[in-house]
Structure 1
Amino acid sequence: MLEQQLINALSLGSVYALFALGFTLVFGVLGVINLAHGAVFMVGAYAALTVITALNLPLWAGLIAAMLAAGVVGALIDFLVLKPLRRRNAPHLIPMIATIGVGIILNNTVQGIFGASNLRFPHGTVPEESIQIGDLHVTAIELGIILASFVLMAILMIVMRRTQFGRALRAIAESPKAAWLLGINVERLFLVTSFAAAALGGIAGVLIGLYSNALFPLMGQPMLHKGIAVIILGGMGDIRGAMIGGLFLGFAEVLSVVYIGSTMRDAVAFGLLFLILLIRPQGLFGKIVQRKA
């Protein structure tokens, strides 16, 4: 039924959007494409699994653990890797290469601790009842993913546009040097941004682990590829674009499975993305500008 497939597409697109929110936040403020974000996403999922299984705590405690674990990892990446590179005025490609290495280290570390086989959250972690609206069935995890992505996007939009903190971040995104001259503690806000973006990735890791019912050390790699596609489609560094780009990719994948076949889902989705970027290379909400010193 088409209506049911649209619900599936909305939940899948919301997962992509939630992952991309943290991804685009780092790029918008730090000007770095953090290619370790997929591994941080995976760390959050495993942190939640550990808390829920080892300590027998409920899902909300697992989500908090995922946020804290992923956030700390994200802050450490900024403090130990990105900050020294900023001090040396390293070219833009160097941080990308460095974060690839960090991602590999995180993947191998988790694989060494938990093994390479698939793990699952315990039965009953999420209520199995579904909400029925006519012929539509919406599960608790689908509803949670959709609500979480839209609520977090709204919170980020409000913070960025209506608070002093958000104005400081926008000033840094425009010109870190000018922000520093205005008295903004640029390095501290870089650290806070890295923590917040990674925490969002950790939440996304838990939700996709519940949605797919599988956790494995390389689970972040497919999401990383989709996340890059989403932020490019939506416009690099734009929160609205991350949300709409994620939903677009989710709908394109699900509808291509329905009408063409599962073997063509990625080809169709990325083909449509390519066509859109041919028409609008800067993405849906992006601007072709150069970041100032």
Structure 2
Amino acid sequence: MDLLTLMQQLVNGFSLGSMYALIAIGYTMVYGVLRLINFAHGDIMMVGAFLGYTFMAVFELSFPVTMLLSIVIAALLGVLMDKIAYKPLREAPKISLLITAIGISFFLENTFTVFAGGTPRAFPVPEYMEKIFDVSGVVFSVASITVPIVTLGLLLGILYILYKTKYGMAIRALSFDIKTVNLMGIDANRIIAIVFGLGSALAAVGGLFWAVNYPSVEPMMGVLVGLKAFAAAVVGGIGSVTGAVIGGFIIGFTEVVFIAFWPELGGYKDAFAFILLIFVLLFKPTGIMGEDLEKSRF
């Protein structure tokens, strides 16, 4: 492989990894607070993509307005999901929460299959997002270069919230001991709802950019993407927001670069993320940036 091809694949991997990273942050934040793997999170990404399709194809709204509305609705959906499904099970065994998460995932997938149909729909990508640039032979679109910029910006925003605001302090305190936080006069349920809202909003952004870069939406689109984002969260260190972003980039690079080196293995590209996950769990179970969760969070 020549240097130009390698640079092209790195750009592609950076863009793909950014979308995994956006979804992985939601996984790691919910886990950091509740020790819950929210397997419905990938389907929130699907909901975000469908909201974008609806607002742009049906109501003909602009992409920025579509993104704003999709983020707000997805955040509200995340809060509602916590209130209806997870809040009543706060004191239940963890397995009950896990089964509930899987049930919500099936519910969202089948609901959208019933009302939207199982046939993929073409996403109306804005013309300016499809504009192509060629820099010394490395080709990229506006959409592919926008995603990493947005991801890094949102990462800084999340870190600011976690470490520079009272809500962030409450989130970090909650991740250690929910009962103690309640005794200190903090409404733990409200803080948990905020965590679900933030994570769902980021998943919606990831879903929108996924639909822009791979212009098709269908009810099952969040299943595999969600699993890869979960793998990214574990690889980076589940419970670490920065680790989730790094893990997303690593999974994206791995998926793209492996195919570039061994194109005959293209049919197995989805397996590479999980092979990497297995190796990480074997040699560093806490992930790249993972620490003892009794000592550190986020």
Q: Could you say whether these structures have the same fold, taking a TM-score greater than 0.5 normalized by the shorter chain as the test?
A: yes
Distance (whole Å) between structure 1 residues aligned to residue 208 and residue 215 of structure 2: 10
Task: Say if 2:121 is the partner of 1:107.
Answer: no
Deviation at 1:31, TM superposition (A): 2.4
Gaps spanning 5+ residues in structure 1: where? none
Of 22, 28, 32, 1:28 maps to 32
Counterpart AA for 1:69: I
Map 1:15-94 → 2, pairs under 5 A: 15-86=19-90, 89-94=91-96
User: Which residue of the partner structure matches residue 156 of structure 1?
Assistant: 158
CA shift digits 1:190-238 (9 cap, x unpaired): 1111111111111111111111111000000011210221111111111
Bigger mean CA offset, 269-278 vs 114-123:
269-278
1:260 is displaced (CA, Å) by 1.6
The two structures have a TM-score, normalised by structure 2, of 0.93
Give the 5 Å matches for 1:157-176: 157-176=159-178
Q: Partners of 1:195 and 1:125 in 2: how far apart?
A: 30
Q: State the alpha-carbon separation in 2 of the partners of residues 43 and 223 from structure 1.
A: 13
TM-score by length of 1: 0.94
Q: Show the counterpart of 2:194.
A: 192
The answer (yes or no) to whether the contact 1:121–1:213 under 8 Å persists in 2 is yes
User: Out of 224, 227, 233, which is 2:226 matched to?
Assistant: 224
Query: SS of 1:93's equivalent?
Result: helix
Aligned partner of 2:66: which letter? Answer: G
One-letter identity of the residue aligned with 1:65: L
C-alpha distance in 1 between matches for 2:60 and 2:293: 50
Paired letter, 2:18: S
> Aligned residue for 1:242?
244
C-alpha distance in 2 between matches for 1:40 and 1:140: 25
| Displacement after TM superposition at 1:290 (Å) | 5.1
The 3-state SS of whatever aligns with 1:174 is coil
Over the aligned positions, Cα root-mean-square deviation in angstroms equals: 1.5
Whole-angstrom distance in 1 between the partners of 2:245 and 2:165:
21
Shift in CA distance, 132/169, structure 1 to aligned 2, threshold 3 Å:
same
What are the Cα deviations for residues 86-131 of structure 1, in whole angstroms up to 9, with x where unaligned? 1xx1111111110111111111111111111111222535432123
User: What does residue 257 of structure 1 align with?
Assistant: 259
Tell me the distance in 2 between the aligned counterparts of 1:30 and 1:101. Answer: 18
Task: Structure 2: give runs of 5+ residues left out of the alignment.
Answer: none
Q: Describe the shift of the 1:125–1:202 C-alpha distance in structure 2 as closer, same or farther (beyond 3 A).
A: farther
Give me the whole-angstrom Cα distance separating, in 2, the residues matched to 1:120 and 1:264: 25
Task: Give the counterpart letter for 1:84 in structure 2.
Answer: P
- Where 1:122 maps in the other structure, the secondary structure is coil
User: Residues of 1 paired with 2:85 and 2:105: CA distance?
Assistant: 12
Distance 1:254 1:278 in 2: 23
- Structure 1 window deviating more from structure 2 (51-60 vs 280-289): it is 280-289
Identity among equivalent pairs (%): 32
Q: Is the 8 A contact 1:59 1:126 kept in 2?
A: no
CA contact (8 A) 2:52 2:67 kept: yes
SS at match of 1:127: helix
Is the CA contact (8 Å cut-off) linking 1:16 and 1:247 kept in structure 2?
yes
Letter in 2 for 1:149: T
SS across alignment from 1:131: strand
Counterpart contact for 1:58–1:125, Cα < 8 Å: no
Distance in structure 2 (CA, Å) of the matches to 1:16 and 1:249: 8
Q: Decide whether the 8 Å contact of 1:141 with 1:211 is kept in 2.
A: yes
User: What CA distance in whole angstroms lies between the structure 2 residues aligned with 1:253 and 1:70?
Assistant: 28
Rounded to whole Å, the distance in 2 between the matches of 1:95 and 1:123 is 37
Provide the rounded CA distance (Å) in 1 between the counterparts of 2:293 and 2:199: 23
2:13 aligned with 1:13: no
In 2, Cα distance between equivalents of 1:116 and 1:269: 26
What is the SS of the residue equivalent to 1:100? helix
CA distance in 1, matches of 2:245, 2:125: 30
2:278 to 274, 278, 289: 274
Matched residue count: 289
